[in-house]
Structure 1
Amino acid sequence: MPDRPSPLVAATGVVLDTRGRVLVLTTPGRTEPELPGGSVHGTETPEEGLARALREGLNLALPAGRLLAVDSRPPATAGTPGRSVIVHVHLVGPVPPQEAAAVSFPVGEATEARWLPPEAACALLPARVAPRLRAALAALHTGSFAHLVDGVPQPGSPAGLDPARRVALEHSGTLDPASHRASRPKAVTAASVLFTGSDGRILLVQPAYGRSDRWNLPGGGIDSDLGEIPRAAARREVLEELGLDLAPGRLLAVNWSHKPGRPARIRFLYDGGVLDAPALARIRLDRAELLQWRTVTPVELPGLVKPALRRQITACLTARATGAGPLELHAGRP
């Protein structure tokens, strides 16, 4: 059998700035805009090849981040001896403003770099690339991965598959059990605890990550992959964050929240009871997670926590006072 050409391996970067804009390049001599990246050379991995392309082509010394998608593109014409292409699509960034402004090109190359909102980038890119970017962004926002062939999400792809097409595939019975599980919508789960002081003030904590101007209830993600249940997660998080080993009280509410294109978020809210002055004095913060703690009155909540969390806290205070619940909440509303 004669040797067949091996696939060409390429690596592409979805390079984002801190405003969520996508870097799109337009190079003289090429008819269409493109995303940063290029072919993988020699014994390079796709990650190494992308980092080299960013360094040499854009003066960006950034590593290739999370793998968002793999796109297999057959030869342009079926049955011809051309090469197929396998493209690894990685997240790069978010790029800080100073580095984004410092993007430059080799001497003599008049490439233009534009930072565009995602939809504008998809509208500008050619038809063979735009679906790849859309699927990669879907994978980014859902914390998942897209399996593509010629830019088209495949049955069972965890991300990028159009919901209507997923439903049609499920109803047709053509998805195998593994593909069915992979393509089903996912949810992120967390457990929080409502503590108050003897004076009725609410215990809040200030995170050391993300937006530190937003305060939270003690708590965090449920390690469901390890078999952890919500109540156990609530106790573990309070111990890790505050140094207090306290069994949570009754479940006050379950909150469901959702934004288009993102996984649903489910929060279990438990009654932590009243912490007197000696108990509050025993708090020892995990400085890797929290900057500080404080107690506040309900009227102080609007300036400290997001509106949806404020509504959850208010509903839980009512449930605790009246003995109602557990409450079923959507974005904090009954």
Structure 2
Amino acid sequence: MPERPSDRPPDRPYGDPSERPSGRPSPDEVRQYYAARPSPLVAATAIVLDPAGRVLVRPASYRSAAELPGGTVEDTETPEEALARELEAELGLSVPVGRLLAVDSRRPGSLGRSLITHVHLVGPLPPEQAGALRGATGRAAARWLAPEEAYEVLPARVAPRLRAALAALYAGSLAHLVDGVPQPGSPAGLDPLRRTALEHAGSFDAASHRAARPKAITAASVVFTDSAGRILLVEPSYGNSGRWNLPGGGIDSDLGETPRDAARREVREELGLDLAPGRLLAVNWAHKHGYPARIRFLYDGGVLGAAALGRIRLAPFELLRWRAVPAADLRDLVKPSLRRQIEACLRARAEGTGPLELHAGRPAEAPRKKGRKKGRKKGKR
């Protein structure tokens, strides 16, 4: 069939299938069943991930092509409720349905009904749960595939939906699709080259232009040292254990917060110290393909004496510990990019230079000034 939702029609849409040799509804009965339903059809699909970022793909129950878990929204269900029901029935998986990644509207196919598919994130599942899924192992069963492998085995109408949904996941946004194609103004999934071409052609209205523009995540951190020159680090209760960070956090720009205001608020919330940040030491830019850029403002917190250190009160449920460490110990405690940022800030503070422009902790290359090459001038003899 040219187009079907990722579910299957009920086993008994009309009559008793046991009265027929095949035990299954005929094609005409399937068409009648869907033709009698309100338009449009609504379905919900899951992007189920394991810790390695692989996608769960299962064989179809009524066709040879592979499919993503999910099904049609029935009766008074919400898409989330329908998807939870289908995951339990198909895979024995009982977990919360995660955030909406994409909405795909498909024009009527042979069944005469348009289809709206909601695509939700499920997982990443813990390793033991991922391996214990009903039907997730064995021959002709559901498989965990890398995204590129999943694109190859899924039908042509489903693979673009998966690609756009994963782009929305990594960008922290939402994809707006029609027939699997990201629309102009879609916050995620739109190819950067196509976005640029649409911008240059003046094809965006103001709202679509804002929605389609690349986004960045901003944060503010503070570099404190003690009287011995050691750097104050905190250990978050989230993320990878054993990884330390500078005091600070995200900038609430949607509330009108400035980087400097965010730095002061974060120090107050995390350490219990209400201290105005000093001068800006550096701005760091970091980028990973497929993800929003990350911008960090790093401020000088100055030297904390014994009295100030004694007043530190860590935010419960957010931070586990704090410590002051020599610069030589940073390599074993923080990520390489953050170590380079801290070292650059310490140099700027000691030398009175900055603010520095850093890319992943490294000084950005300034454009070289154009000028005449040095050498002996030619003259008249």
TM-score, normalized by the shorter chain, greater than 0.5: yes
TM range (shorter): over 0.9
Q: CA deviation at 1:238?
A: 0.3
The residue number in structure 2 matching 1:86 is 116
Q: Deviations over 1:238-281 (max 9, x none)?
A: 00000000000000000000000000000000000001111111
274, 289, 306: which one pairs with 2:303? Answer: 274
Which structure 1 segments of 5+ residues have no match?
Answer: none
Rounded to whole Å, the distance in 2 between the matches of 1:92 and 1:232 is: 36
Indicate whether 1:35 and 2:64 are aligned: no
State the 4+ residue runs in structure 1 displaced beyond 3 angstroms.
Answer: none
The residue number in structure 2 matching 1:163 is 192
> Which one is further off, 13-22 or 264-273?
13-22
251, 271, 285: which one pairs with 1:242? Answer: 271
Q: CA deviation at 1:76?
A: 2.1
Indicate whether 1:96 and 2:129 are aligned: no
Q: Percent identity?
A: 72
Q: CA deviation at 1:332?
A: 0.4
Q: How does 1:39-118 map to 2 (within 5 A)?
A: 39-76=72-109, 82-105=112-135, 112-118=141-147
Q: CA RMSD in A?
A: 1.6
> Which one is further off, 320-329 or 280-289?
280-289
SS at structure 2 position matched to 1:112: coil
C-alpha change, 1:105 and 1:120, in structure 2 (3 Å) is closer
Q: How does 1:283-298 map to 2 (within 5 A)?
A: 283-298=312-327
Letter in 1 for 2:350: A
Q: How does 1:147-162 map to 2 (within 5 A)?
A: 147-162=176-191
The residue number in structure 2 matching 1:16 is 49
Which structure 2 segments of 5+ residues have no match?
Answer: 1-35, 364-381
SS at structure 2 position matched to 1:299: helix
Rounded to whole Å, the distance in 2 between the matches of 1:5 and 1:184 is: 36
Q: CA deviation at 1:125?
A: 1.1
Rounded to whole Å, the distance in 1 between the matches of 2:338 and 2:139 is: 49
> Which one is further off, 312-321 or 282-291?
282-291
C-alpha change, 1:184 and 1:213, in structure 2 (3 Å) is same
C-alpha change, 1:111 and 1:6, in structure 2 (3 Å) is farther
Rounded to whole Å, the distance in 1 between the matches of 2:345 and 2:135 is: 56
SS at structure 2 position matched to 1:127: coil
Rounded to whole Å, the distance in 2 between the matches of 1:166 and 1:28 is: 38
Q: Deviations over 1:205-246 (max 9, x none)?
A: 000011122110000000000000000000000000000000
The residue number in structure 1 matching 2:22 is none
Q: CA deviation at 1:120?
A: 1.3
Query: Looking at both structures, which has the greater relative contact order when contacts are Cα pairs under 8 Å and sequence separation is at least 6?
Result: 1
Q: CA deviation at 1:110?
A: 7.8
> Which one is further off, 25-34 or 296-305?
25-34
Letter in 1 for 2:53: G
TM-score by length of 1: 0.95
**Higher-strand-fraction structure:** 1
Rounded to whole Å, the distance in 2 between the matches of 1:49 and 1:122 is: 25
Rounded to whole Å, the distance in 1 between the matches of 2:244 and 2:37 is: 60
Rounded to whole Å, the distance in 1 between the matches of 2:37 and 2:127 is: 46
Confirm or deny: 8 A CA contact 1:219 1:237 kept in the other structure: yes
Confirm or deny: 8 A CA contact 1:27 1:111 kept in the other structure: no
Rounded to whole Å, the distance in 2 between the matches of 1:14 and 1:311 is: 37
Indicate whether 1:302 and 2:350 are aligned: no
Confirm or deny: 8 A CA contact 2:135 2:142 kept in the other structure: no
Q: CA deviation at 1:183?
A: 0.1
27, 34, 40: which one pairs with 1:7? Answer: 40
TM-score by length of 2: 0.84
